[in-house]
Amino acid sequence: MAQTLRGKLGLTGLKIGCDRGECGACTVLIDDVPQYACSILTQSVRGKNILTIEGLARSDGGLHPLQQGVLEEQGFQCGYCAPGFLMATLGYLKTKPEPTRQELAHGVSGNLCRCQDYDKILTALMRGAEYMKKG
């Protein structure tokens, strides 16, 4: 499915970091649930709602509150993991809209960042979560 989204549909926001479900860079929401697109057959998601990073911004081009919060905190370094982190966060916040920092860390623990500035990532995602709550 990651290859379908990137290759056939041109949705190159998600990345294929490992292609074996070990890094999270390909995370998308399937019916609101974060999953690794690299480890799912395209045929098995027929009839389901897939949300990728490209679908996150508002229709007027404005940023989603989660993106806005992360932007303001300069959340990511190289940015390769960012789309996966954002989708994982969005999915987690649907189950837990007001997490503590530690809870959110567990929620996004299936995403690797090799720049490894997890401190700023969490700060930025928390800011984004706060903006989402405010709407």
Partner 1 sequence: MAIIRDGMPPFDLYQPTSVEDALSLADRLGSDAWMLAGGLDSLERFKDRLKRPKAVIDLGRIDELRGVRQEGVDLVIGSMTTLTEVSLHPEIRARFALLAEAAGQVASPQIRNQGTLGGNISQDTRCWYYRDGWNCYRAGGGTCYAGESPEGQNREHAIFGVEGCAAVSPSDTAPALVALEARLVIKKAGGRREIAAEDFFIGPENDITRLNVLGPGELLTEIRLPATWAGATFYFEKVRDRPVWDFPLVNIAAAMQLSEDRIDRARFVLGAVAALPWRLPRVEAAVAGNLRNAVADSASRLAAEGAVPLAHNGYKVALARNLVKRAILGKKEA
Partner 2 sequence: MPQNDTLFTPKLTGCNYTTPDQRAKLTGTARYAEDFRAEGMLICKLLTSPLPHAKVKHLDISAALAMPGVRAILTADELPQPADSASDSGAMIKASPWSERALTMEPHYQGEPIVAVAATDEAAATAALEAIDITFEPLPFVIDPLDSLRPGGPNARTNGNVWLPPGKPGEQPCIGELKWTATDFETAGRERLPMGKTAAEWSYGDVVTGLSQAALVLDETFVTPNVSHQALETRSTLAWWENGKLHLTVGTQGTIQTVPAIAKWLNMSVDDIVLISEYTGGAFGGKITASVAVIIPALLAKKAQAPVMLRVSRADEQSIGRARPSLIGRMQAGFSKEGRLLGLDLFVIMDNGPYEQQGDAATAGRMGSLLYQPKAMRWRGTAVLTNTPTRGPQTAPGGLQVSAMLGPILAKAARRLNLDPLAVCRINAPEGRAPVGPPKADGSLNAATSAFVKEALDRGAETFGWQARRARPALTKGSVRRGIGVATGCFVAGTIGFDGLFVITPEGRLRLHTGIGNLGNESFSDVQRVVADAMDVPWEVCEIAWGNTAKPMPWSCVSGGSQTIHAMSRAALAASLDARQKLKEIAAKTLGGKAEDYNIGDQRVFRNDSSQAGISFAEAAGRAIKLGGVYDGHECPADVNKMTKTSVAALAGQGLVAVARDNFPRDGQTYSHVASFAEVEVDIETGMYRIVDFHAEADAGLMVHPRAFAGQLAGRSMLGIGHATMQKWFYDNQHGAPLSKRFYQTRPPTVLCFPEKFTWGSVGIPDPQTPVGARGIGEPPTGAACAAVLCALTDALGDDKFFRAPVMVDAILAASEPGTRALPGGLSANV
Q: Which residues bind partner 2 (CB under 8 A)?
A: 3, 6, 10-20, 22-23, 25, 52-54, 56-57, 63, 67, 70-83, 86, 105-106, 108-109, 111-122
Nearest to partner 1 of 46, 71 (CB atom): 46
* Least Å from the CB of residue 31 to partner 1: 10
By CB under 8 A, the residues from 73 to 112 that bind partner 1 are 88, 92, 106-110
Angle between helices 82-95 and 65-72 (to 10 degrees): 130
DSSP H or E run through 101: helix 101-107
Residue 82 DSSP label: H
* Least Å from the CB of residue 64 to partner 1: 20
Q: How many Å apart are CA 72 and CA 124, to the nearest integer?
A: 8
Pick from partner 2, partner 1, none: which does 115 bind, CB < 5 to 8 A by kind?
A: partner 2
Q: Half-sphere exposure (CA, 13 Å, Cβ side) for 26?
A: 20
By CB under 8 A, the residues from 16 to 35 that bind partner 1 are 19-22, 24, 27, 33-35
Which amino acid appears at position 28 of this protein? V
